[in-house]
Structure 1
Amino acid sequence: MPGIKPHSKRLLDPTSSQRWVAHLDDHVNSLAWSPDGRWLAVASVSGPITIFSGSTGQVAHTLTGHGFGTCELGWNANGSVLASVGQDGKVKLWNPQTGEERCSLPGGGAWVEHLAWNHQGNLLATAAGRKLRLWDAVEGKLLREYPDHRSTIADIGWKPASNVLTSAAYGSLTFWSIDKDEPLERFEWKGSILTMAWSPDGKHIATGDQDATVHFWIFQSGEDLQMWGYPTKVRELSWNSTGRYLATGGSQTATVWDCSGKGPAGSKPIELEGHANLITALAFQHKGSLIATASNEGKVIFWNVERPRRPLVQADFGSGISQLSWSPDDQYVAIGTEGGLVTVCTPPRGK
């Protein structure tokens, strides 16, 4: 069971403070803020899900989660449903007010690894192996099972402010309608995709790849380019709120590309140097120019991407950082570690 230690000593400098700390029994595998920032849902790799008060760290509910492990969490748009998927092959919908399991649905494979809500919050997409399924999350009803992918689905997501569902697998990005089985479009590329991220305006989509590259498409035209030179595979991507900057991991340095104007081709990226080990998580705030980067030596660093020469503040949490997420209003940052620590901090002012 998690233990709570609210308002413990500050780990960050005077411009930023730790609000509360909790300790889970295992590696923090996923965390997700409710849309209003009231709750923070956290899953440990062994399966249990804890719903904390975002402001105080008090435990509202402890959910059984998934046998063998919970893979991912996500809230619908109004925060009335928390969805989870896991290694028991199930998709589960929870009532966050009561902590009750609303329904348990078959994900189509032994492991269900990914989920994604549409922007209205009434449709939930899930991925298990090569299977992509679409659910009516109000009734817990399967609406559609798309044709099997040619390889394991690495990531899924919705084009911003639309009902275009996107799936990433070896060799391609595929775009799907909610109304038919056939793809709307496919961007082909011979490579293994690990993660993908839409720009907030829906104009660009980027992937982090197994071959230590970042691939970048202009959605309207299908034109693409590639950024290389990373020392290892790229699993971390984050766009800022305007879609100008794309931050990437794949190194002990966070690399930020300027995608404005003609895009990043031929441009020199911003390099945020401060970590001794590989980046494991990074995230821009929802609005503004701050970005938080984290690494497997346990360090979290805050930067202003408009003034990137030196960090605003940094802290060492003693265990590799596995999860990092800004609250919806950017007032807090939630951090999860490989050792089971969960903490919520107030970020520095972006000066």
Structure 2
Amino acid sequence: MARISIFGKAENRLRPVWQAAVPDHVIALAWAPDAARLAVATVSGPVTIFDANTGKPLHELKGHGFGTAALAWQPTGNLLASVGQDSKVRVWDGTTGEPAQTLDAGASWAEKVAWHPSGQLLAAAAGKKTRVWTAGGELVRELPAQAGTVMDLKWRPGTNHLTLLAYGSATTYDPGASAEPVRVLAWKGSPLAMAWSPDGKILAHGNQDSTVHFWYYDASRDLQMWGYKTKVRELAWDYTSRYLATGGGPVVCIWDCQAGTNGPEGSKPTMLVGHDEDANLTALAYQNRGFLLASAALDGKVLLWQPTNRKGTQVGEFQFPGGESSALAWSADDKSLAAGCGTGAVAVFRAG
């Protein structure tokens, strides 16, 4: 894949607002929908809720025994969901920090959790199992066990359908209607992470074999991109559903999915070079309704990009000292970016 270097670095638009510390490696970040609070999970278990304007800790949650794996804040309400290696899904009151519900994930090592955009359904995966509950904690359905560990799960935009990513397939269900799949996109390989385009038309997943697979969902048509340095876990769509940013090495690779009649197939991606050559990416995040893209990597850098800016694609930079940048999250209003570090450092920026 050809590399297109950045040029003409502009004024740094990544402005730190505050920095704080948590006990351990930052594994996940989740913003409250009003952007007033930020939840930060550590790999050892504890979860801290911060005042997003001042950086003051508001609540210290015990999280999960043996480690917390993921967080998700209810998009339309005040509930914070977490999962971890104690086989539990915990739902917390985001205002008081008190436990609201403790749900059984069905297996140990619960690693993925996701609210439906309506905030009325909560899904979590543990091992080969996936369960879906109402916001009140009532079990809606346990979906059929997958062929391998559920590596990721995402709600398909604009629907009540939930897609599970596991060995050999991406399988979509309507949990409220049936345990039978709505669609099975079969692929012989080991996928790691997925991302739906915001219009719900394309499903992309990064894989163990250093490839990215695209599915045009309605037609069940697929294509594959290769040439990555490492396995691909980092995927982020821009809000127009045109551009997909991928990791799989130290360079941000951006595919134009409207490049031709066959989408990105046969096209050359834009390559954004800014992280150290030996520092693979750890996270990518596009704004929810804007054109800014953030990247994090093992070199401790958080870089801000405006990929379509002809005057210079890199528009911001921050350096965590002594550890990898491990997590990124934009607030719902796109005014703030949160970043976490392997040393336990947390930073919030204004980006603009």
Tell me the TM-score normalised to structure 1 length. 0.93
Which stretch shifts more, 313-322 or 211-220? 313-322
Which stretch shifts more, 241-250 or 294-303? 294-303
Tell me the equivalent position of 2:162. 165
Q: Distance in 1 between matches of 2:84 and 2:313?
A: 40
Tell me the equivalent position of 2:332. 328
Residue aligned with 1:152, SS: coil
Q: CA deviation at 1:310?
A: 4.2
Q: Distance in 2 between matches of 1:284 and 1:190?
A: 29
For residues 96-134 of structure 1, the C-alpha deviation after alignment (integer angstroms, 9 at most, x for no partner) is 111110121111111111111112111111100000111
Q: CA deviation at 1:282?
A: 1.0
For residues 17-58 of structure 1, the C-alpha deviation after alignment (integer angstroms, 9 at most, x for no partner) is 210111111000111111111110110111111111111111
Residues 266 and 129 of structure 1, relative CA distance in 2, 3 Å threshold: same
Q: CA deviation at 1:137?
A: 2.0
Tell me the equivalent position of 1:317. 320
Which stretch shifts more, 273-282 or 228-237? 273-282
For residues 57-83 of structure 1, the C-alpha deviation after alignment (integer angstroms, 9 at most, x for no partner) is 111111111111111110112232111
Tell me the equivalent position of 1:3. none
Q: Distance in 2 between matches of 1:157 and 1:16?
A: 29
Q: CA deviation at 1:141?
A: 1.6
Q: Distance in 1 between matches of 2:290 and 2:131?
A: 35
What value does the CA root-mean-square deviation take over the aligned residues?
1.3
Residue type matched to 2:318 in 1? A
Gaps of 5+ in 2: 1-9
Q: CA contact under 8 A between 1:36 and 1:79: conserved in structure 2?
A: no
Q: CA deviation at 1:243?
A: 0.4
Which stretch shifts more, 324-333 or 212-221? 324-333
Equivalences for residues 110-125 of structure 1 within 5 A: 110-125=108-123
Residue type matched to 2:280 in 1? L
Q: Distance in 1 between matches of 2:13 and 2:316?
A: 8
Q: Alignment partner for residue 344 of structure 1, among 324, 337, 348?
A: 348
Q: CA contact under 8 A between 2:305 and 2:315: conserved in structure 1?
A: yes
Gaps of 5+ in 1: 1-11
Q: CA contact under 8 A between 1:119 and 1:162: conserved in structure 2?
A: no
Q: Distance in 1 between matches of 2:25 and 2:246?
A: 23
Tell me the equivalent position of 1:258. 256
Q: Alignment partner for residue 189 of structure 2, among 185, 188, 191?
A: 191
Tell me the equivalent position of 2:5. none
Q: Distance in 1 between matches of 2:118 and 2:187?
A: 31
Equivalences for residues 125-164 of structure 1 within 5 A: 125-138=123-136, 140-164=137-161
Q: Distance in 2 between matches of 1:135 and 1:97?
A: 21
Residues 47 and 220 of structure 1, relative CA distance in 2, 3 Å threshold: same
For residues 177-198 of structure 1, the C-alpha deviation after alignment (integer angstroms, 9 at most, x for no partner) is 1211111110000010000000
* Greater relative contact order (Cα < 8 A, sep 6+): 2
Equivalences for residues 1-351 of structure 1 within 5 A: 15-138=13-136, 140-178=137-175, 179-260=177-258, 261-262=260-261, 263-276=263-276, 277-307=279-309, 309-318=312-321, 319-347=323-351, 349=352
Q: Distance in 2 between matches of 1:310 and 1:116?
A: 32
Q: Distance in 2 between matches of 1:64 and 1:195?
A: 27
Identity within the alignment, %: 49
Q: Distance in 1 between matches of 2:289 and 2:162?
A: 24
Q: CA deviation at 1:15?
A: 3.9
Residue aligned with 2:151, SS: strand
Q: CA contact under 8 A between 1:115 and 1:126: conserved in structure 2?
A: yes
Tell me the TM-score normalised to structure 2 length. 0.93
Residue type matched to 1:311 in 2? Q
Q: Distance in 2 between matches of 1:43 and 1:175?
A: 28
Q: CA contact under 8 A between 2:151 and 2:166: conserved in structure 1?
A: yes
Q: CA deviation at 1:16?
A: 3.4
Q: Distance in 1 between matches of 2:11 and 2:343?
A: 23
